[in-house]
Amino acid sequence: MALIQSIKGISPQLPSSCFLAENSTLVGDVKLGENCSIWYNAVVRGDVNSIEIGDETNIQDGAIIHCTYQKASTKIGNRVSIGHKAIVHGCTIHDDVLIGMGAIVMDHAVIESGSIVAAGAIVTAGTRVEAHSIFAGIPAKRLKTVSEDNLEMIKRTAKNYTLYKTWID
């Protein structure tokens, strides 16, 4: 069973349609939408500020979702895929976004809809990733516009993780 912990009397709000891996951790002011999945060793820690995660969003293995005390909450939209070992910290991610494996998104960054943050990229504090953009590198910069194939891959990934959670016994 996942580690679910209250902080100062505030407990995570978790719809029954969500999948929580047995070694995932959810702490404090965390609100999950419907059909989310929080995978193995992922940590969603709303101890110092709030974290809101939309419907059909997946937080993959080893990812960390956090925020900054009195400065930056974290908001993640619908159908977002947060790749393995990514760090999402005190930022806003709109709908239909893919955050690649090992990417880092820092405080007050905004990732607009239909975008991709490439694996290993570091989106520095306050950066705005325009809708339908691919950002890559350290620090992350705009690489190109998301193609129709890329957009389908973003949607397919979120849909697949909604399916994968149904395979768990």
Residue 22 lies in a domain: yes
**Above pLDDT 70, what percent of the chain?**
100
User: What φ, ψ does residue 160 adopt, rounded to 5°?
Assistant: -60, -45
Q: What is the CATH number of the domain that holds 64?
A: 2.160.10.10
Residue 26 lies in a domain: yes
Total structural domains in the chain? 1
Helix ranges, 70-109 (H): none
Residue 32 lies in a domain: yes
- Specify the pLDDT at position 48: 98
- Mean pLDDT of the region 102-120: 98
CB burial of residue 58 (10 Å; 0-12, 13-18, 19+): buried
For residue 4, list its beta bridge partners. 26
The token pair that represents 93 in the structure block = 């991610």
For residue 37, list its beta bridge partners. 19, 58
Q: Note the pLDDT tens digit of each residue in 43-63.
A: 999 999 999 999 999 999 999
- The Cα 80–Cα 91 span in angstroms is 14
Residue 135 lies in a domain: yes
Q: Note the pLDDT tens digit of each residue in 128-157.
A: 999 999 999 999 999 999 999 999 999 999
CB 2 within 8 A of CB 23: yes
- Specify the pLDDT at position 169: 82
Parent domain of 102: 3-164
Res. 31 pLDDT band, cuts 50 70 90? very high
- The Cα 30–Cα 11 span in angstroms is 7
Model confidence, pTM: 0.97
Provide the 10 A C-beta neighbour count for residue 75. 18
Residue 79 lies in a domain: yes
Helix ranges, 99-168 (H): 148-164
Residue 169 lies in a domain: no
- Mean pLDDT of the region 27-40: 98
Residue 92 lies in a domain: yes
